[in-house]
Amino acid sequence: MSFYHEHDKFHVAVDAIIFGFDEGERELKLLLLKRKFEPAKGEWSLMGGFAKESESLDDAAKRILHQLTGLDDVYMEQLYTFGEINRDPGNRIISVAYFSLIKIKESDLELVKEHGASWVPISAMPPLIFDHNEMVAKALKKLQIRARTQPIGFELLPEKFTIPQLQSLYEAIYGKGLDKRNFRRKLLAMGLLEKLDEKEKETSKKGAYFYRFDQDKYNDLIKNGFNFEL
C-alpha cells in the first residue's frame, strides 16, 4: 500500500522550549539540561527526543514535556521546523521545535533533577548546542507576539496572583519596564480579572490583592476577536 518507498527517510526530533516565571525573582526562565549522552555530552541543551511512528508530532511534544516535568495539559505551540543539513553535526536530523508555558511550582522537581535540568534566567542564557540558541531566540520572539494578542501571561502564573506580579512577568517578556498605572488600567478594563479578598504579604508590608483569571469571560471575548495589548 505504500507508494513512496523510493524516497529518503529522516530522523525527526522534537525539541521543547519550556518557559516558566519565577515570581520571587521576577525573572523569566527556561528549563535547560546538561546532556548526559553523546554527541555534545556535558553541554547545555533544550529537552528533546525523537518522534515515533506511532504518535503525531503534537503527541511527541507532549510526551517529551511530560517526561521532564510530569505535566500534561499545558500551553504548547509548534514554533518552527529546523531542517538545515548540518544542524546536528554528523547526523541528518530534522527538528520540530515546540514551546510551552508552565507554572514552575507545578513541575515535578524530582523528575527535573533526575534529568539534570535547571531553570535558567533568559537574561543569563548560556551557549547551547547546535542551533538551540536560535530556537530560543525564535521562541522568545513568538512569545512576545503572543503576549500581545492572547492573555498567555496567565499560563505562567499560579491561579492566584497579584497585579504587580503580572506586571513583572510582562516586563520580563518584553524586556522593558511598564508604567504601573497604565498597566493596571488597561488590564482591568478588559474585565478578565476577579479580585479576591486575600492579600499577598510576602513581598511588601502593605500587601497586594490577589486576583484570579476568569476563563469564561475570556472565552466570550475571543469570539469577537479582541486585542490584548499591554
Partner DNA sequence: CCAAAAGTGTTCATCGTACACCCATGT
Partner DNA sequence: ACATGGGTGTACGATGAACACTTTTGG
For residue 94, the partner it binds in DNA, its own copies, none, with Cβ less than 5 to 8 A by kind, is its own copies
Q: Which of 143, 137, 139 is nearest to 169 (CA)?
A: 143
Q: Which of 71, 44, 75, 76 is nearest to 61 (CA)?
A: 76
For residue 1, the partner it binds in DNA, its own copies, none, with Cβ less than 5 to 8 A by kind, is its own copies
State the angle between helix axes of 163-174 and 180-189 in degrees (0 to 180), rounded to the nearest 10. Answer: 110
Min separation Cβ 230 and DNA, Å: 8
Q: What are phi and psi of 75, to 5 degrees?
A: -65, 125
11 binds DNA (CB under 7 A): no
What's the CA gap between 80 and 97, in Å, rounded? 5
136 binds its own copies (CB under 8 A): no
Three-state DSSP at 42 gives coil
197 binds DNA (CB under 7 A): no
Number of residues that bind DNA (CB under 7 A): 19
Q: What is the DSSP letter of 88?
A: B
Residue ranges in 44-83 that form contacts with its own copies under rule CB under 8 A: 50-58, 60, 78, 80-81, 83
The residue within the footprint of DNA, chosen from 70, 186, 190, 218 (CB under 7 A), is 186
Per CB under 7 A, residues contacting DNA are 162-164, 179-182, 184-186, 201, 203-209, 229
